[in-house]
Structure 1
Amino acid sequence: MTEYVVRFLVGGAIVSAFAMLGDVLRPKSFAGLFGAAPSVALATLGIAVYRHGAGYAAMQSRSMMAGAIALAVYAVVVCHLLVRARLRALPASMLSLFAWLVVAFGLLALAGGQS
């Protein structure tokens, strides 16, 4: 229970810091970009280092990077299916989910997988 409270407090503080940074930068769309994933990832990695050590946090960060790359591939595939193949949103997203899974698990396999 304490871990969740710490994660909530640290995550909230980091979200606020990134939101202030995004408010200063131009264009304003950076505020939303900086307010979400980076702050949650930093809070999670900080707790992982504290509770499990640097090796565990390194493994988690590799997983986060693989997921981010897979998400970028997913977004590109969805856009191509929507615009070029003129598919509707549901079939395009379902087909792209397969691409996301292949890329995510492929990158994890190349990186040595989870230990």
Structure 2
Amino acid sequence: MSELILRFFIGGLFVSGFAVISDVLRPKSFAGLFGAAPSVALATLSIAFANNGMTYVQTAAQAMIAGAIALFFYSLLVTWLLLSQRIKAWVAAVAAWLLWLTVAYGLWTVSFT
């Protein structure tokens, strides 16, 4: 329970910091982007470092990077399918999920073998 409370406060601190940064940046649509994922990742990595040490945090950070790169390719494919091919959104999302899984798994095996 104390880890959950600690995660809540650390996450809130990071969300507040990123909210200040995003308030300065243009366009304002960056506010949601900078308020969510980075703050959760940093809070998680901070607690993991305190509980498990640097090696664990390094592995978790590499996994987050692989997932982010895979998400980039997922987003490109979904955008292309929706705009160019006029495919239904749910079909595009499911099809692109396979690409995300392939890229994430490929990056994971390359960086951890």
TM surpasses 0.5: yes
> Is 1:97 the equivalent of 2:101?
no
2: CA distance, partners of 1:42 / 1:97? 25
Instruction: Give the stretch that moved more between structures: 55-64 or 80-89.
Output: 80-89
1:1-115 correspondence runs (5 A)? 1-112=1-112
**Per-residue deviation, residues 23-45 of structure 1 (Å, max 9, x unmatched):** 12222222212101111111111
1: CA distance, partners of 2:47 / 2:100? 27
Query: Which residue type is aligned with residue 42 of structure 2?
Result: L
Can you give the 5+ residue segments of structure 2 that lack an aligned partner in the other structure? none
Give me the TM-score of the superposition, normalised by structure 1: 0.94
**Per-residue deviation, residues 76-108 of structure 1 (Å, max 9, x unmatched):** 011111112211111111100100000011100
Identical aligned pairs, as a percentage? 50
Quote how far apart the aligned CAs of 1:21 are: 1.2
Quote how far apart the aligned CAs of 1:54 are: 0.4
Quote the RMSD (CA, aligned, Å): 1.0
Moved segments of 4+, more than 3 Å: none
2: CA distance, partners of 1:75 / 1:59? 24
Can you give the 5+ residue segments of structure 1 that lack an aligned partner in the other structure? none
Give me the TM-score of the superposition, normalised by structure 2: 0.95
